[in-house]
Chains A and B, each alone.
Chain A
Amino acid sequence: MSSQARHSANAASLPIQGIHTISLFVRDEPGVLVRVALVFSRRGYNIESMVVSPAAQSGFSRMTMTCSGDSSILEQMIKQLEKLVDVVHAIDHTHDDAYETEIALIKIKCDGSQRPEVLQIAEHFGAKVVDYGSQSVMIRVYGSSEKLDAMQALLSQFEVAEVVRSGKILMARGVETT
């Protein structure tokens, strides 16, 4: 980039909204979740999903979050996250080659006449029926978030009573750090 072009980046350029996947390695301390969330809310980011779980080392946790907001400030926001005392590292995996997965539980209200098609859709997506009642079925499916979206869209022709999704988790492939 020419220096002139770089400097035009001083401008409060029009925000490009994007979905980002960020993974955080944090100390398991009281308040760490609030501190992280405040960085997002202050910069106008919306957290779409967030998974918090214990890390392999005791005393540390993993956070995987998908969020949407102005892409041009993402780099700076990551640095603000890293600046938090309890955050060991923060990595943007949006464009990385990482393995991603998510789980959804979907409850469909359906009688006997609709059930064969519901089960057919479930089978197609490799989903498993985990609860089978006279008026409803509960389906568990896992895979990429896009796959879950697609299945949810197909099931929307039925009466979807409840959907609970875990939120995306991911891990960098090979020896890369998550």
Chain B
Amino acid sequence: MSARTWALSEDLTTAWVVVVVAVGVLSLAVLSWELGRLDRRRGWVAIIGMLATLTLGGAVLRPVSIETHGSVVGARVVVLVDGSRRLLLPLAGETSRRDAALEAVAALREHFDSARLTLLEFGDDRLEPFTAAAETGAARSPRMLDSDLVTAIRHLGDQSVERPQAIVVVSDGRLTRPGEDLEGEPLSTILGGLDVPIHTVAITHETPADSSILRVDTAGAVVAHQPFELRVEVACVGGLRCGTIPVRVRELRLGADPVELASGRAEPTSEPVEVALSIALERAGARVLEVALDPPHGDTISDNNRRYIAFDVARDRIRLLHVAGRPSYDARALRMWLKGDESVDLVAFFILRSDFDDTQADESELALIPFPVDELFTQHLPSFDAVILQDIDAVTSKLARHLSTLARYVETGGGLIMVGGPSAFSGGQYAGTELERVLPVTLPEARQYFDATDFVPRYSTAGRTTPILRALRDLLGDELPSLPGANLLGPARSQAMVLWEHPLLSAAKAPMPVLALGEAGDGRAIALAVDGTHRLGFGKLASDVGGRSYGAAWDGLLGWLMRDPRYEPARIRLAKPCIADEPMSLEVVSAPGMSGAVEVSVDQLGTAASDSRTVRAEGAKTGTVAVPIPPLGPGGYVARARVGASPPMRFEFACERAGGTFADVRPDVARLRRIAEATRGVAVGLDGVRGLPQPTNVRVAAERHVAPWLPAWIWSAAAATLLGLYWFARRRGGLT
């Protein structure tokens, strides 16, 4: 295909061209007016004047001829295929909505055979090429959780490539955005940025018979110990007779079977119904709940009958139980520090009298109440975030019978601090008990329970790097006060971290732990084998820093016990939402100063027999390490990460097969129709692809020749000559 055309000089703007033409026309008009005033005709003056004006204009504008050679190509058409996992929903027979989408793509290829098709998948916050592999190979499964058409259109507009002449959306219509209520002008505004018609292809009209959890949410923040309303919306569609559907909520804990928190009944009709369940979570931090319904007979999709949801449970106040075996300066210091913290709700019991004490008074003259040990450790224990056992004998205080309960409390998420003294650890008859199992140290059963020699604890390598003691080290450096003896402990457990160690005593050929901490099941425990930490707040060393060192140490210990992020050695997060049975990765972000190999172990929640998967990765100087995790099944999980020699930290998360994408299984053909109407497009079904309008082909120039009509010097010489003649003719004709 060839074409010939012309143009004016390309180095002059349109404005200058207009000015030149205007000046030329004006000069001719003046000449005409002048000639009209003469009594004789002077036609030759007019002819020479016109020629002079034209050649002068030509010299300025320098017209050129353009000859182009090119071809006509098909119009660019973008096909946006819904990449949401919702398209895995089955259709009649052995097919799925994804198969229908592939069929639509094949039909579009055939229909737009003369157009240039760009096939893209949309869903989350990105556009991905829809490749041949996606149509036929292993990547047949969509991996996105959303169907965000608005973001997809915006991304198309941001691309610096040829604008398409038409967009074709292949979907079931159940889009995340635009919302189902939008139509007309607002819809046109949102999607019409490209000013391109959007055609839609509905891949199905078929609603499967299904009951589902449509939505799970809460009225506000979830706070530990405080009841909140969990709203579960249940739908019943596709002509299924649902009747009454039982709904139950269970908490998934580590190393234990799921704990049922609430249950209710839903009676959905043609409209979804909401079931409000009042539940309370006793532990702060991330908690994974399982919300499930018992489907009626005939339910065709099982994956939307159960949701696994990770809740971030906030803490209003830390509720602590402080039990001291006897009053002492150490118990006093800890109590005063805890009472001084407005965020702590403290319940304290000090054993002020033993069976051997002679009070010299009648009971009515004493301000003593019985230690409600049975009531505390049977009824109220779950309401506490942590328990502090300070120098208390398990047997004489009648605590021994509750040690297994206390151990289970820790393993299901509670915190425990055992503070030293003559009646702590082995001296308190805890060795060989259930509680020893959750302590970060082993307890020797030797006859000697403590060493009374004054000593200065020594920081371990982990103690020097951990954020837990950073504030204390900022105040005192490596210095610590001399402490009056220590409980004799065995070696630390394999997953425990020793922060302080004894400079002289050893346990299993390693320095004896003095301060150790570790995870125990779902909870955490701290062993502090001295009863003199009050010297961090009172004494010569403490006076140099205004006594702040005591609070700095206990802030860190309690903060770590309560999983305060400030004291964690790292943060763990999901690189992207966890999809069951698909490869995933966790990102471990180390705190400043932390380095070393990263070890991540993953355990399933809600099962007594957990299958731990451990993955190691090398630490990076940037502080962020991506750790690939093998595919996990649907459920709740806890990941524990250790960076170098730091104490472990944990992160609870949920894996679902489809998340909320399977919640509403109804196709939304009406929405696709509204989108087409709002953008001057055409809405069709699978069988109507041939009815989509063909866009106009595009002419593409391949070769272009530009040649001036005359060389510039000829224009200039002609203009100069004719202007001279014009001047002469005007004089001869009587014009000045």
- Binding between chains A and B: no
